[in-house]
Structure 1
Amino acid sequence: MNKLLASFGIFAILGFYSCAQKKQISYTERAWVTADSIRKLIKAPEFKKKDFKITDYGAGTDSTVLVTEAFAKAIKACHENGGGRVIVPKGTFLTGAIHLKSNVNLHLEDDAKIKFSRDTKDFLPLVFTRWEGMELMNYSPLIYAYEQENIAITGNGILDGNANNEYWWPWKAKEEYGWKEGMNDQRADNKLLFEQNKQQIDPRKRIYGEGHYLRPAFIQPYLCNNVLISDVKIINAPMWNLNPVLCENVTIANVKIITHGPNNDGCDPESCKNVLIKDCYFDTGDDCIAIKSGRNEDGRRIAKPAENHIIENCEMKDGHGGVVIGSEISGGAKNIFAQNLKMDSPELDRVLRIKTSSLRGGIIENVYLRNIEVGTYKEAAVRCNMFYEAPGDFMPTIRNVVVENMNVKKGGKYGVLVDAYEESPVENLMLINCTIEGVEVPVKANHTKNMVFKNVLINGKKVDTTTDK
């Protein structure tokens, strides 16, 4: 398996230098054989058949009474007895932060809802976490786990972050999310954390929480192995929804995310290895799926890429991008596969979006999409941007990106949009068997190397060529 992945980049280079149809088909088929090999490495955790119901640990039926302690007691008992399921029965249960432990499956029964407190004190004490790719001590994510293994969140219930234009969202400092002049917001903290990251202050001495305004993620397993999140519906997130960090063997399946607050990304696996995201629905206020690996100095110091991700059979509605890589991508990303996706919304900005900058650096390579059905989008079907944030001294790399069998009924402004450095062109960008209708500008690209279109129709005209710019 390691030999197969190590030779992956060699296959890419050889494939792109050949214009023979037979070799190109062989190249793309070879890539998806690698995806099948990765899939075999990803196994959902299993749990003991023993249940621990939160109502047996002090949770009552009054949805206005905080039951954080009942969750903690049930999880502790489950963990100490070898694991199993912590059951959330039918009803609404108000809680502060929930911290999962090894071998615990937090299971929501039908018509169960976990509703999270709006009191920031209920997300203390501080925990070691990440905020937009930077490490710090901050409010706990709503559901959090640190250095645990075999953990899950399952069932057909609802997770309600309880955020809106009065709680959490105004911290973004935008009027459309309830902020007004004179209110506290995240801008000063964001700037301070950015400087602490730049100076590489010990992350455990970057103290936030009370008196600060950096919103927590909804669900964040951190340095965990064997993670499963399935079937739940997630609404009203303070910030990012699903944000596994430095995790390995992650399965996210049949999850439905509907939330339109600021930075309400659907799923942000960050510096994770072996990730499967399947059969999910995303209708979000930011990127639907955004693959990340740390911001700037923290990302380069930890140097853990996003690696071996498979995304399939998902549906995307509103969002800044359907499948996104970046912008917190300083650790790099490789071997990213997405297939059998449906996207359709005039509020969906892009289908595939790769965003980075020379402040970030990092290598993004071996990205493969196929079988993508798109009703409409706003900006571009394929967007590669190396100028997402202010420039720095770490030249990014984007190479070996293939989009195959993508059909767009009504595109936005661009078909393909590339903005790269002359000294670091986007290399080996290929579109195969794609049809894009209704765009204003078919292709706008400034610096590319070996950009290939094979059997591509844009606005009914064939773009069957190899183009370097």
Structure 2
Amino acid sequence: MRIKNIIIIVLLCLNATVLAAKDFSVSLFGIESDGKTLNTKSIQFAIDHINQNGGGRLVFHAGRYLSGTINLKSNVILHLEDGATILGSLNPFDYEKTKDFPSFLFAFNQENMGITGKGVIDGQGKFVARNVVANIEKGLTKDSYKYGRASEASRPMGLYFRECKNVKIEGVTFRNSASWNQTYDQCQNLTIDGITIDNVDYWNNDGIDIVDCDKVSVTNCYIDAADDGICLKSHDSKRFCNDIYIANNTVRSSANAIKFGTLGHGGFKNVKIINNIVFDTYRSAIALESVDSGFLENIEIDGLRVYNTGNLIFLRIGERTKKERKSTLNNIKISNVYAEIPATKPDAGYSYEGPIEDLPRNISPAIIITGLPGLLISDVVFKNFEIRHPGGGNALYANVPLNKLNTIPEIPAQYPDFSMFKELPSWGVYIRHAKGIDFSNIEMKVDKTDFRVPIVLDDVHNSKFSGLKINQIVNKKEIYQNSSTKIEIK
């Protein structure tokens, strides 16, 4: 019995040793926390060592760790304890360029890996971008260098993961990349939970970009971005974003808060956007755009609260590429929404604001749905909305008469955004080239007298509107119809 007990104790100790070995302190690898020593090689050695020895967590304790590009590997987790900060090098030549873009954190074709903890990843992007510009002006780096800034291909993004599986990003704060903060390209089983993104230091500062990914969840995050907050894209015509869950996030953007499209060569399918908050956003709270010969379908949005945004919802079919396959947008359900549209610029005062729009243009409608002739947006349901709009439209400033709706341009190849048409003839809802639209229990309040009709339909068919509550009606018209058929109003 004694021998058996001894064996059991020894096995328990060995097992405990194995479990403990799953955490590797950065100090084991001589990684310095002084914020000055460039740790790129030592951090990479540590990741490679853990990857080759069964996997585990590389634990960063309180301190500041300076590094260039870090390549994450399978079965390795970077764990940042509270007070730990990984700093991006200020030297642009310390970043690797892979798949056409440089990145601070990079992974290609890896699995069972990620980043966790309560620490910070700070790309120091403003200073890196300035140094990129300096290198361009010295002739050391070739770049298109438009508008006085370096292109995205020359500025390192914060994180770029491609073709990775079983990825977990949890708890960490990501700050100040020189370009897009995070891009996940053709990844599967991706979980992003409880992270903070503070990415307002330079141009093209998207929060999270999800490209042709499958089975993704983005939950409980706080995102403040100078460009799009959460952006779904499809770069490959043979792939698409599928099974995406976006819930309980708070998003602020000097572009769009939650956006699909541009690019959209493949498509977007089976997406749920549940219980999110949007504030101080320059363009649209929700922008669903199918403009590159792809498809956009089976989208559910439920529980959305929007404060101070230029536009609530923008749905758009475009035709930026001449291909046999045409863009489609259908089967969208949006419910339980509260929104406030301001009379003034919603992102005024942020470090990188959206541009001043082309004028003249009165405040745009809260909801804009625009297909193309012969390419109709179809089967869209809006239910349980409360919208506050500033109104105040002035016919002497900008005006599209209802008998001249054909003067509104189609511009199928133009980059899509809600203000692309300039002046529109309604303050609440504008729908053009659509069918199967269902609005029910919609309350719209306008603060100041507006000459425009609340709802305008142009080439809309087989649609119904019920339970409308509108506090201002122009010439006894809630809804103006042009070239529209089978419109049911209750």
TM-score over 0.5 (shorter chain): yes
Query: Residue in 2 aligned with 1:144?
Result: 106
Does the 8 Å CA contact 2:290/2:329 hold for their aligned counterparts?
no
In the TM superposition, what is the alpha-carbon distance from 1:439 to its structure 2 partner? 4.9
> Aligned letter for 1:417?
I
Matched, 1:292 2:233: yes
Query: Residue in 1 aligned with 2:5?
Result: none
Distance 1:161 1:60 in 2: 18
> Aligned letter for 1:162?
Q
Distance 2:39 2:139 in 1: 34
**Does the residue aligned with 1:447 lie in a helix, a strand or coil?**
strand
Q: Which has the larger radius of gyration?
A: 2
In the TM superposition, what is the alpha-carbon distance from 1:271 to its structure 2 partner? 0.6
> Aligned letter for 1:371?
G
In the TM superposition, what is the alpha-carbon distance from 1:214 to its structure 2 partner? 3.1
> Aligned letter for 2:379?
N
Query: Residue in 2 aligned with 1:457?
Result: 443
In the TM superposition, what is the alpha-carbon distance from 1:384 to its structure 2 partner? 1.5
Distance 2:254 2:243 in 1: 23
> Aligned letter for 1:187?
S
In the TM superposition, what is the alpha-carbon distance from 1:120 to its structure 2 partner? 2.2
In the TM superposition, what is the alpha-carbon distance from 1:62 to its structure 2 partner? 2.5
Does the 8 Å CA contact 1:51/1:84 hold for their aligned counterparts?
yes
> Aligned letter for 1:156?
K
Does the 8 Å CA contact 2:152/2:204 hold for their aligned counterparts?
no
1:355 to 1:148, Cα distance in 2 relative to 1, 3 A = same
Instruction: Provide the alpha-carbon RMSD of the alignment.
Output: 3.0
Residue 306 (structure 2) aligned to one of 363, 370, 374: 374
> Aligned letter for 1:330?
H
1:61 to 1:415, Cα distance in 2 relative to 1, 3 A = closer
> Aligned letter for 2:288?
I
Distance 2:87 2:386 in 1: 44
Query: Residue in 2 aligned with 1:246?
Result: 186
1:249 to 1:272, Cα distance in 2 relative to 1, 3 A = same
Distance 2:288 2:137 in 1: 33
Query: Residue in 1 aligned with 2:129?
Result: 168
**Does the residue aligned with 2:51 lie in a helix, a strand or coil?**
helix
> Aligned letter for 2:465?
T
- Give 1:41-440 correspondences, 5 Å limit: 50-124=22-96, 126-127=97-98, 129=99, 136=100, 138-139=101-102, 141-164=103-126, 166-168=127-129, 186-187=143-144, 213-260=153-200, 261-294=202-235, 299-300=236-237, 303-345=238-280, 347-357=281-291, 360-378=292-310, 380-387=311-318, 390-393=320-323, 394-410=325-341, 413-440=364-391
In the TM superposition, what is the alpha-carbon distance from 1:418 to its structure 2 partner? 2.1
1:425 to 1:237, Cα distance in 2 relative to 1, 3 A = same
Does the 8 Å CA contact 1:48/1:84 hold for their aligned counterparts?
no
Distance 1:80 1:182 in 2: 41
Query: Residue in 2 aligned with 1:203?
Result: none
The CA deviation string for residues 38-70 of structure 1, in whole angstroms up to 9 with x for no partner, is: xxxxxxxxx965111222212123311100111
Does the 8 Å CA contact 1:415/1:458 hold for their aligned counterparts?
no
Does the 8 Å CA contact 1:147/1:224 hold for their aligned counterparts?
yes
Distance 1:450 1:89 in 2: 56
1:187 to 1:326, Cα distance in 2 relative to 1, 3 A = farther
1:456 to 1:107, Cα distance in 2 relative to 1, 3 A = same
In the TM superposition, what is the alpha-carbon distance from 1:213 to its structure 2 partner? 4.7
Query: Residue in 2 aligned with 1:20?
Result: none
Distance 1:157 1:266 in 2: 18
In the TM superposition, what is the alpha-carbon distance from 1:220 to its structure 2 partner? 1.5
- Give 1:20-59 correspondences, 5 Å limit: 50-59=22-31
1:157 to 1:211, Cα distance in 2 relative to 1, 3 A = closer
* Runs of 4+ that moved beyond 4 A: 169-173, 179-186, 210-213, 460-464, 466-469
Distance 1:48 1:435 in 2: 53
In the TM superposition, what is the alpha-carbon distance from 1:211 to its structure 2 partner? 12
> Aligned letter for 1:59?
I
Distance 1:185 1:437 in 2: 48
Does the 8 Å CA contact 2:309/2:340 hold for their aligned counterparts?
no
**Does the residue aligned with 1:286 lie in a helix, a strand or coil?**
coil
In the TM superposition, what is the alpha-carbon distance from 1:241 to its structure 2 partner? 1.3
Distance 2:320 2:151 in 1: 29
Q: Counting helix residues as a fraction of each chain, which structure ranks higher?
A: 1
1:435 to 1:172, Cα distance in 2 relative to 1, 3 A = farther
1:397 to 1:105, Cα distance in 2 relative to 1, 3 A = same
**Does the residue aligned with 2:38 lie in a helix, a strand or coil?**
coil
> Aligned letter for 1:168?
A
**Does the residue aligned with 2:380 lie in a helix, a strand or coil?**
strand
Does the 8 Å CA contact 2:293/2:321 hold for their aligned counterparts?
no
> Aligned letter for 1:94?
L
1:170 to 1:400, Cα distance in 2 relative to 1, 3 A = farther
1:448 to 1:218, Cα distance in 2 relative to 1, 3 A = same
Identical columns (%): 26
In the TM superposition, what is the alpha-carbon distance from 1:184 to its structure 2 partner? 7.0
> Aligned letter for 1:291?
L
Distance 2:91 2:137 in 1: 20
1:180 to 1:68, Cα distance in 2 relative to 1, 3 A = closer
In the TM superposition, what is the alpha-carbon distance from 1:413 to its structure 2 partner? 2.7
Distance 1:249 1:307 in 2: 11
Q: How many residues align?
A: 376
Give 5+ residue unaligned stretches, structure 1: 1-46, 130-135, 174-178, 190-209
Distance 1:48 1:319 in 2: 46
Query: Residue in 2 aligned with 1:32?
Result: none
> Aligned letter for 2:384?
N
**Does the residue aligned with 1:437 lie in a helix, a strand or coil?**
strand
> Aligned letter for 2:110?
Q
